[in-house]
Amino acid sequence: MTGALDDLRVVDASTLFAGPMTAMHLGDLGAEVVKVEHPRRPDPSRGHGPEKDGHNLWWKTLGRNKRTVQVDLSTPDGAQVFRRLCATADVVIENFRPDTLERWGLGYDALSEDNLGLVLARVTGFGQVGPYRRRPGFGTLAEAMSGFAASTGEPDGPPILPPFGLADGIASLATAFAVMSALHRREATGLGQVVDVAIVEPIMALLGPQITRWDQLRTVQARHGNRSVNNAPRNIYRTADDHWVAVSTSSQSIAERLMGLVGRPELVDEPWFASGRTRAEHADELDDAVGGWIGRHDRDEVLAAFERAEAAVAPVYTAEDIAADPQFEALGTVRRVADPDLGEIAVHGGLFRLGDGDAPTRWTGRAPGADTDEVLAELGYDPAEVAALHASGVVAGPRTEQA
C-alpha cells in the first residue's frame, strides 16, 4: 500500500510543532512531504527532547516520511526556489508570523499565480487577524489562554500545564482536517484557498460548554484534580502493590455494577446515585468506597475483577507498558522502522486504520537538507545552478555526485 493520500504533495515550511505534526499526519497517509528548513537554522524541534548517540529522537518521529531541503526563503533566489516548489504542490504549511511570507514576495497571491489549486495552511498562535496576530504563539500560551490550564489541577493548587505539546497536537489534527476540507472544496471549484488556524482555538473547542456556561450562568469550571463534575466515581486510585489505575463511570450501568464489585451495592438505591451529575456531588463517599477496595488488591487482581464485572478501568501506563501491551500490538500502534543512524527504532504507526490498508512508514526523520539537490533537480535546476545556489548559501545539504 502507498496510502490514501499518495497523490498529494505537501510542502512543510513550518517549525515547532503544530505545523510539522500536521505534515507528519498527512505523510503517514502516504502524502509526499517536502520539509523546507533554513540553511543555518533548521527546525528547532531537532534540538528538543532526548538524544541517542547525538541523534535527536523527537525529530526521528516528527520528521518521518519527509524529504528534507534547506532553502533561505528571505533571499530572492531562495524565494524563487520556494515558488517553483509550491507550484508543484497541493498543500503548503507555514507558521511564520503574519506578513512574513508577504514581505518575501511569497504570500498567497503570489503562490497561487503559479498554482490556482494550492491550499496554504497558516498555523500561528493567534491567527492571521486581530490585535494578537503578530505575538509569538506557542502551545503553552494556547493551553493557558484556552481555559485548559485554569480548569486543570487540584482544587487548592495552581493551574496546571500539560508536560507535552497538547495544544500543538490538537491544532495539528484540526489543521489536517481543515486542509482536507479545502482540498475537497477544490474538487468542486478547481481553486485552492488559505486555511487560517490559530493554535488557541482547537483546544478551546474541546473544553466542553465553557463559553455557553459563562454566557448563561456566569460561572466557570473550578479545578477538581482527577475528578469530574459530570460523573463519579472518576479518579486515579493506588493499588496495594503501588500501581495506579483509572476508573470511569460515565455509563450509569457501569456505575451500578462497580458498586456491587466494591461491596457497596446499597449506594445504588440512593436518590442521588441516579445521574452522573448528582453522583459527582457525592464524590468523597464514592472515592472512599472505590479507592478503599482498590487499595486492598494488587493491580492484576483489580483489572481482572473489573473485567469480570464489566466495569471500566485502565492501568496508568508508561511507554514501557505501551510497548508490551498485546492490544497495541494487535492494533499495530507501534511500528519498527529501519533508521540509518540508530538501526531499527520504534515509532507510532498513525492515528487510525483504513479498511483498504495503511501506508508504510517509509523512513524516519532525515538529516537537514538530505534531499536538497534531488528536489532542485526535479524542479528543473541544472547542476551548475545547484552549485551556484550552494555557493551563495541560499541552499544547503549534502552534495550529490551529479552536483
Can you give the CATH number for the domain in which 304 is found? 3.30.1540.10
Same domain (yes/no): 17, 64 = yes
Same domain (yes/no): 268, 198 = no
Same domain (yes/no): 138, 196 = yes
Same domain (yes/no): 36, 176 = yes
Other CB atoms closer than 10 Å to residue 115's CB: what's the count?
Answer: 17
Give Cα 108 distance to the centre of its chain: 25
Same domain (yes/no): 186, 55 = yes
Would residue 395 be called left, alpha or beta, if left means φ above 0 and alpha means ψ between -120 and 50 degrees?
A: beta
Q: Are 119 and 186 in contact (CB under 8 A)?
A: yes
399, pLDDT greater than 80: no
Tell me how far apart the terminal alpha carbons of the chain are, to the nearest angstrom. Answer: 33
Same domain (yes/no): 242, 184 = no
Residues of the domain holding 195: 9-205+331-396
Q: What is this structure's pTM?
A: 0.92
Same domain (yes/no): 341, 390 = yes
In a domain, 15, yes or no: yes
Question: In total, how many domains does the chain have?
Answer: 2
Report the CATH number at residue 79.
Answer: 3.40.50.10540
- Please report, to the nearest 10 degrees, the dihedral formed by the alpha carbons of residues 381, 11, 101, 47 taken in order: -100
- Last residue of one domain, picked from the residues 316, 344, 361: 316
Report the chain's mean pLDDT, rounded to a whole number.
Answer: 95
- Last residue of one domain, picked from the residues 249, 282, 316: 316
Q: What is the pLDDT of residue 217?
A: 96
In a domain, 210, yes or no: no
Same domain (yes/no): 138, 275 = no
Q: pLDDT confidence of 1, banded at 50, 70, 90?
A: low
In a domain, 401, yes or no: no
126, pLDDT greater than 90: yes
Q: What is the pLDDT of residue 403?
A: 42
- Last residue of one domain, picked from the residues 281, 316, 351: 316
Give Cα separations from 178 to 73, 91, 147, 187 (angstroms).
Answer: 25, 11, 23, 15
Q: Are 334 and 323 in contact (CB under 8 A)?
A: yes
In a domain, 356, yes or no: yes
Same domain (yes/no): 368, 392 = yes
In a domain, 79, yes or no: yes
34: enclosing H helix or E strand: strand 32-37
In a domain, 47, yes or no: yes
What is the average per-residue pLDDT within 137-162? 94
Same domain (yes/no): 47, 184 = yes
Same domain (yes/no): 33, 139 = yes
In a domain, 200, yes or no: yes
* C-alpha–C-alpha distance, residues 94 and 91, integer Å: 10
In a domain, 211, yes or no: no
Task: Convert the pLDDT of each residue in 154-171 to its tens digit.
Answer: 999 999 999 999 999 999
Q: Are 31 and 8 in contact (CB under 8 A)?
A: yes
Percentage, residues of the chain above pLDDT 70: 99
* C-alpha–C-alpha distance, residues 11 and 125, integer Å: 20
Task: Convert the pLDDT of each residue in 256-311 to its tens digit.
Answer: 999 999 999 999 999 999 999 999 999 999 999 999 999 999 999 999 999 999 99
Same domain (yes/no): 239, 355 = no
Task: Convert the pLDDT of each residue in 9-20 to its tens digit.
Answer: 999 999 989 999
Q: Give catalytic status of residue 358 as yes or no.
A: no
Task: Convert the pLDDT of each residue in 202-224 to its tens digit.
Answer: 999 999 899 999 999 999 989 99
| Phi/psi of residue 114, nearest 5 degrees | -90, -15
400, pLDDT greater than 80: no
Task: Convert the pLDDT of each residue in 90-105 to its tens digit.
Answer: 999 999 999 999 999 9
* C-alpha–C-alpha distance, residues 273 and 286, integer Å: 10
Q: What is the pLDDT of residue 137?
A: 87
Task: Convert the pLDDT of each residue in 227-241 to its tens digit.
Answer: 998 999 999 999 999
Task: Convert the pLDDT of each residue in 9-48 to its tens digit.
Answer: 999 999 989 999 999 999 999 999 999 999 999 999 999 9
Q: Which of 90, 168, 358, 371 is catalytic?
A: 168
